[in-house]
Structure 1
Amino acid sequence: MSAKRNLLYSTNTLALAIVLFVILVIINGLSKKAFKRLDLTESKRYTISKSTKKLLGQLDDIVRVEAYFSEAPDQVKLIKDEVKDMLDEYDAFASGNLQIEFINPTEDDDLKQKLRMKGIPEIQVQVREKDKIEVRNAYMGLAVVYGDKQEVIPVIQKTTTLEYDLTSAILKTTRKEAKTVGFLEGHDEVDIYGQGFENLKRELDKQYTIRKIDVSQGSPIESDVSTLIVAGPQSPLQANEKYEIDQFLMNGGKIVFLVDAVKMAPGSIQASPLSTGLTDLLSHYGIQLGNNLVQDISHDNLTYSQGGFMTITRPYPFFIKVLKSYQYSTGSTSEGFPADSVATSGLDSLVLPWSTSLSVVAKEGVSTTIMAKTSNQAWTAQAPYNLDPTRMFTPPSSVKNSYPVAVLLAGEFTSFYAGKEIPSASNGDGEEDTENKNEDRKTVEKSPPTQIVVVGTSQFLRQPRVDGLTFFQNSIDYITLGSSLIGIRSKQISDRSFKTDPSTFARLAIKVLCIGAIPLLVALFGLFRFFSRMRAKRMVETYGRV
């Protein structure tokens, strides 16, 4: 009877093991297509975004990802493992249209030469082994190949921006042609090719063909330009120039207007009122520019030199700081980036120096989305402006409001020049150029559905910060490409480091705790087990075995 029971038990155990094995095989197979990853980071750093998943799901042909990594040292392996994890997740959502290959080019001289031609360099990394620091050569790059098009990420030294870089590369290679973004010139606007804007130019080059646009001679803006950037003109636009901008919009073009209320003197904080000639144009489209500068209790600091020897940092209400959520002493809250603004809803903060307020003018067929607004404790200053950071800034006891400072307009716009004579270009002497009459042109009086972004300052580009550049790129991406890349770029990596002063007792206590906590817990557990066994032994000796 006992042998029969043992046989039955063994048979059941074997059957259960086989069933469990089959279940595990099925789960493993399904997990490649449907899986969940527990990501406890605030910004979901290790989870690819919905935008990336959507792009991968729309791939209709094979995209190859060639990852070039050396076998060692440890820091290269760490990056390689993180890249592999992310590529595995990409592969799971690509429906078989992503081919991934990891290649070690260290011993292949021909491949090294090809990689140099591609733009993937061999870099030097420091390695610590046996208390010595050595320098070794290594590869940490990646190429995305689609047909005869290719984009490279030359060096991956950190993975915080990897999803954006990788998705950008896939988007650019699989798109039939790159969109063209034009920057208006001729009025001292932001020069995208100028000094100080190299990082911005490099980021925009990842997705767009960049071109300068000059409309001073009355030439229409080229039809292949998708989006026009009017970035802070410092002198008035003439009527014929505004006409070309208007007609670009009427033909379906998208426009980003960064319009300053004041002209800053170079190298100083002295300002004078600025007329750009755009007020009437924008008012016609649906935005009234304020004749003011906004100040806010939510603001950033201004750092400046005094006497050429000392650097001073002061709170500066003219540097308004838009926050995702404003918290007030009354316990109430308000949003700085409304949830319905796709281009800004992922931002945590945005500093806009010397911004004017914006007011919405209702227009039939045009919808308005507030992209950024001040706290409800903001106020305005009128000309003449006193921008001196050393003066006392006292908020008024009343007349404090929330002001829009960035707005998106979308819909079908009517031409500012509908029913008007087409303005002619100047011949350079301030007189009408009679040789370049627009007799053969006809004004387009209504646009197809299109979009306009208006921001009350360009100074966030002239004094670049990460949040400002992200906001600017998001604005361009949204009206040019849709929301494909916005959710990725807006991911924020929060600083979780200790804020303790290195010289304080607290730092020493934290270090001791980090080093000694685990050994101490092990020792305490060992003592607990020892005394538990001693107690059990005494009970057996006293009462006998039960």
Structure 2
Amino acid sequence: MSSFFDHPTAYILVVAFLGFGLFLTFRTIYAAGIATLRPFFDLLPWLFAIFIPALTMRSLAEERRSGTLEWLLSHPLRETEVIIGKFLGNWLLVLAALAGTLPTAFGLLRVSEADGGIMMAEYIGGGLLAAQGVAIGLWASSLTRNQITAFILAVSASFALVIIGTPVVLIGLPPSLGVGVSNLSVLGHFENVARGVVDLRDVLYFVSTAALFLFMAVGIMSRERLSAGRSAHRRLRTGTAALVATVVMLNLLGGNIRGRLDLTQEGLYTLSDGTREILGELDDIVTLKLVISDELPTELQPTLRDMEDLVADLRGAANGNLVVENLNPNEDEEVAREARNLGVTQNEFNVLRDDEFEVRRGWFGLALLYADQREVIPFINRTDDLEFRLVSAISTMTTVERPGLAFLTGFGSQGPETFPSFAQALSDRYDIRTIDLTVDTVPDLNRDTLDIVVVAGPQQPLGAPGVDAIGSFVDAGGTALFLIDKHQVSPESPMMYPVFTGLEGFLEARGVGTDAGVVLDYGSNSRISMGQQGSFNVVRPYPLWPIAVRGDPHPTTRDLSNLSLGWGTILTVTDTAVQRIWVTTELGAIQAAGGIIMPDALLEPDRNNFQTLTVAVALDPNAADDDEPSGTEDDSATGGRMIVIGDVDFLQEQFLQANPQNLVFTLNAIDWLAQDEALIGIRSKLRTPPLLAFTSEFGRVALKWGNLVGVPLLFVLLGLVRVTGRRRRAETRWKGAPA
């Protein structure tokens, strides 16, 4: 085994592999500002297709050329033992090279909230991919005496298994053939494992293909000592052909094999507790009709697979109250008519035929039916939010009474029309209305018909009657969401002007203060375009648009990593019952109200004033906090829940498109205020990598160059020690040998 680690070529290849792979990885994650190893593992099948053949090409070819293979087989060793030994040695060497990226993984985990479970799955997938690649390399090396020929054969086979899974190949195949070819490709199976799910079908693919190539390598070595006309030779050929057919059929028809391990920290691919709760409480039949045609395009097959797995899990959790029906409109015109009546329509797909694109039509949608209600997804284009869409639809259809929610307008406060995406999402589960606080007689906020009030960015002081009405409503057990902006942006200046909302005293009495300054964050912020300058579009960090990180643990921020704000207001906490749910990084700072907001006009920060600032808080006066020391809570605290967010712009469409977590958090906040938290854990299943936020420039530089230069340098030093000590170790063994 040590011979694999004593050859200088191995270390040259490992250093090249790590240097190239890590360079591209850091360039991607630093440019995007995300904490993930996905860029590296997206490249891994392509890197391994060259790196592993270069390692394995001499394993058997060189031994055959030099005649040492015959000498080796003259010992009491079987061909199987030789191949397994070669396989283990090469595989461990590849795993050692892959382990060179572990410092990068640990560094990302240290400076961010990256998902360690996903990283673990990525390394498991990398190990399986390496096993397959080494097996292919040994098979190629067993075919020839020439190392270069073995390298070319292994590269060709490895690239073939990768390329057949790319869209450029699949789009030119008939759908049925494309599905089969895709099942035999490396890409789909590896990408599925790398996202955080170890699926039995993917493990079976890598293990079976690796075993197949190893068996063929053993067969090629065994064939040389068998006469072509003997029965043993015929049995070997028959067995090899049978194994090839078995592996191919197993991977083509293994789609019904169930079993997977979700390694993600928050169980992103496992049914949420809220899903099980909602489905387990069903007291009547809900029908799910899947409208799926034959021969869907190959690019939809991963979506189809995920959808089928999810539906199987949902059906199991519903205790028989979720009935699933499969409709194929291509088989019967009556079925097609039923699908159209449900609201599911055909979609057009492009396929490549005779060197030109051809349009095909197909069905890929679903409908949920309960009593006389219906919810339809005409086309399933994604599955990352499908669990939430299905379960929330079931919850909406089976809920008799819907909570009441009112936007309190007037005094510059904004109504639901200002936030179309937010209002649309709310309308599915809440009865929304608008109450004007500027009228002479402020309407009574009746707790019998109203559960939640939303006050969104008042620009003028609320009148005393309005503030009193809100206070009475909250004291009576009503809940409230406050979006507070303590300044107004003037695009013409461009400057900010302070604003007095009239809610300052109300919030202060409940332990939440508001600062007139504006939040900056030099460690985590959005990048904005400064427009075209010459031939380049200049992008600049904008600290006045901070990207907040999670503070105290809270149901509303579960599974979320950040919240994008625009010209946020600083909140202060004066009561231990108030939880800081969103905060800046340690590089937060305060800009005085009335300052200039142009990105290129901001003053240089004073590092002595950096601090962590609060931008969103939650208050539940009636929550029993067992962790609080006796006597620290305000025993007089009464009333309903409140959430205060120091911004209103974050719900504008511009911010929602840049960061979907803004909408998810706000909807979670509404559900928490309504004390209906079952959907929070489902909605929060976002698979967006967390932000990469450094507290110092030294940490940023150390992570990059420590891995990009330091890790390859360690392998260089290890190689020098191993290679230069090879002769000394050999002499020691000879001296210790018996005469």
Alignment partners' CA distance in 2, 1:304 and 1:190: 28
The secondary structure found in structure 1 opposite 2:598 is coil
Q: 1:394 to 1:126 in 2, by over 3 A?
A: same
The amino acid across from 2:309 in the alignment is: D
Q: Mapping of 1:196-211 within 5 angstroms?
A: 197-211=419-433
Alignment partners' CA distance in 1, 2:421 and 2:499: 28
Post-superposition Cα deviations, 1:269-317, rounded to whole Å, max 9, x if no partner, equal 4211011111111112221111211222223235255699986432122
Q: Mapping of 1:477-492 within 5 angstroms?
A: 477-492=671-686
Alignment partners' CA distance in 2, 1:241 and 1:167: 38
Aligned residues: 412
In 2, are the aligned partners of 1:73 and 1:127 still within 8 Å (CA)?
A: no
Q: 2:556 maps to what in 1?
A: 343
Q: 1:494 to 1:373 in 2, by over 3 A?
A: closer
Q: 1:476 maps to what in 2?
A: 670
Q: 2:655 maps to what in 1?
A: 464
In 2, are the aligned partners of 1:368 and 1:410 still within 8 Å (CA)?
A: yes
The secondary structure found in structure 2 opposite 1:172 is helix
The amino acid across from 2:540 in the alignment is: R
CA drift of 1:183 comes to 1.8
Q: Mapping of 1:397-412 within 5 angstroms?
A: 397-411=607-621
In 2, are the aligned partners of 1:263 and 1:271 still within 8 Å (CA)?
A: yes
1:219 and 2:219 are equivalent in the alignment: no
In 2, are the aligned partners of 1:368 and 1:408 still within 8 Å (CA)?
A: yes
Q: 1:240 maps to what in 2?
A: 465
Q: 2:521 maps to what in 1?
A: 296
1:185 and 2:409 are equivalent in the alignment: yes
Q: Mapping of 1:252-267 within 5 angstroms?
A: 252-266=477-491
Q: 2:235 maps to what in 1?
A: none
Match of 2:329 among 102, 105, 115: 105
1:355 and 2:579 are equivalent in the alignment: no
Q: 1:405 to 1:109 in 2, by over 3 A?
A: same
How big is the alpha-carbon RMSD for the aligned residues of Structure 1 and Structure 2? 3.0
Alignment partners' CA distance in 2, 1:495 and 1:135: 35
In 2, are the aligned partners of 1:269 and 1:388 still within 8 Å (CA)?
A: yes
Alignment partners' CA distance in 1, 2:333 and 2:622: 58
CA drift of 1:115 comes to 4.4
Q: 2:593 maps to what in 1?
A: 383
Q: 1:36 to 1:115 in 2, by over 3 A?
A: closer
The amino acid across from 1:300 in the alignment is: N
Q: 1:285 to 1:392 in 2, by over 3 A?
A: closer
1:316 and 2:507 are equivalent in the alignment: no
1:66 and 2:289 are equivalent in the alignment: yes
CA drift of 1:371 comes to 0.9
CA drift of 1:144 comes to 1.8
In 1, are the aligned partners of 2:524 and 2:584 still within 8 Å (CA)?
A: no
The secondary structure found in structure 2 opposite 1:187 is coil
In 1, are the aligned partners of 2:588 and 2:610 still within 8 Å (CA)?
A: yes
Alignment partners' CA distance in 2, 1:112 and 1:447: 60
The amino acid across from 1:133 in the alignment is: F
Q: 2:129 maps to what in 1?
A: none
In 1, are the aligned partners of 2:523 and 2:586 still within 8 Å (CA)?
A: no
Match of 1:454 among 644, 647, 657: 644
The amino acid across from 2:280 in the alignment is: G
The amino acid across from 1:406 in the alignment is: A
Match of 2:584 among 354, 374, 377: 374
Q: 1:206 to 1:380 in 2, by over 3 A?
A: same
Alignment partners' CA distance in 2, 1:384 and 1:495: 35
Q: 1:50 maps to what in 2?
A: 273
- Which stretch of structure 1 is more off in the superposition, 152-161 or 301-310? 301-310
Q: 1:397 to 1:303 in 2, by over 3 A?
A: closer
CA drift of 1:48 comes to 1.8
Alignment partners' CA distance in 1, 2:493 and 2:377: 39
The secondary structure found in structure 2 opposite 1:398 is helix
TM-score by length of 1: 0.69
CA drift of 1:111 comes to 5.2
The amino acid across from 1:349 in the alignment is: N
Q: 2:361 maps to what in 1?
A: 137
The amino acid across from 1:53 in the alignment is: R
CA drift of 1:408 comes to 0.5
1:160 and 2:354 are equivalent in the alignment: no
CA drift of 1:357 comes to 1.6
The secondary structure found in structure 2 opposite 1:375 is coil
The secondary structure found in structure 2 opposite 1:169 is helix
In 2, are the aligned partners of 1:299 and 1:318 still within 8 Å (CA)?
A: no
1:231 and 2:445 are equivalent in the alignment: no
Q: 1:204 to 1:125 in 2, by over 3 A?
A: farther
The secondary structure found in structure 2 opposite 1:357 is strand
The secondary structure found in structure 1 opposite 2:312 is helix
Q: 1:82 maps to what in 2?
A: 306
CA drift of 1:116 comes to 4.4
CA drift of 1:487 comes to 2.0
The secondary structure found in structure 2 opposite 1:137 is strand
Q: 1:238 to 1:108 in 2, by over 3 A?
A: farther
The secondary structure found in structure 1 opposite 2:454 is strand
The amino acid across from 2:290 in the alignment is: A
Aligned identity (percent) is 30
CA drift of 1:396 comes to 1.9
Post-superposition Cα deviations, 1:433-467, rounded to whole Å, max 9, x if no partner, equal xxxxxxxxxxxxx9965200001111211342312
In 2, are the aligned partners of 1:180 and 1:226 still within 8 Å (CA)?
A: yes
The amino acid across from 2:562 in the alignment is: S
1:38 and 2:261 are equivalent in the alignment: yes
The secondary structure found in structure 2 opposite 1:291 is strand
In 1, are the aligned partners of 2:329 and 2:336 still within 8 Å (CA)?
A: yes
Alignment partners' CA distance in 1, 2:336 and 2:444: 47
Q: 1:30 maps to what in 2?
A: none
Q: 1:205 to 1:398 in 2, by over 3 A?
A: same
Post-superposition Cα deviations, 1:211-236, rounded to whole Å, max 9, x if no partner, equal 22223221113542321111112222
Post-superposition Cα deviations, 1:368-387, rounded to whole Å, max 9, x if no partner, equal 22211122332212233232
The amino acid across from 1:205 in the alignment is: S
CA drift of 1:77 comes to 5.3
Post-superposition Cα deviations, 1:191-218, rounded to whole Å, max 9, x if no partner, equal 4224xx4333332233223222223221
The secondary structure found in structure 2 opposite 1:71 is coil
CA drift of 1:157 comes to 1.1
In 2, are the aligned partners of 1:68 and 1:103 still within 8 Å (CA)?
A: yes
Alignment partners' CA distance in 1, 2:266 and 2:378: 26
Post-superposition Cα deviations, 1:132-155, rounded to whole Å, max 9, x if no partner, equal 532222222222222233222232
The secondary structure found in structure 1 opposite 2:438 is coil
Alignment partners' CA distance in 2, 1:392 and 1:464: 22
Alignment partners' CA distance in 1, 2:492 and 2:363: 43
CA drift of 1:343 comes to 0.6
The secondary structure found in structure 2 opposite 1:285 is coil
Alignment partners' CA distance in 2, 1:65 and 1:481: 28
Gapped runs of 5+ residues in structure 1? 1-34, 324-335, 414-445, 497-546
Q: 1:529 maps to what in 2?
A: none
Structure 1 runs of 4+ aligned residues shifted over 6 Å read 307-310
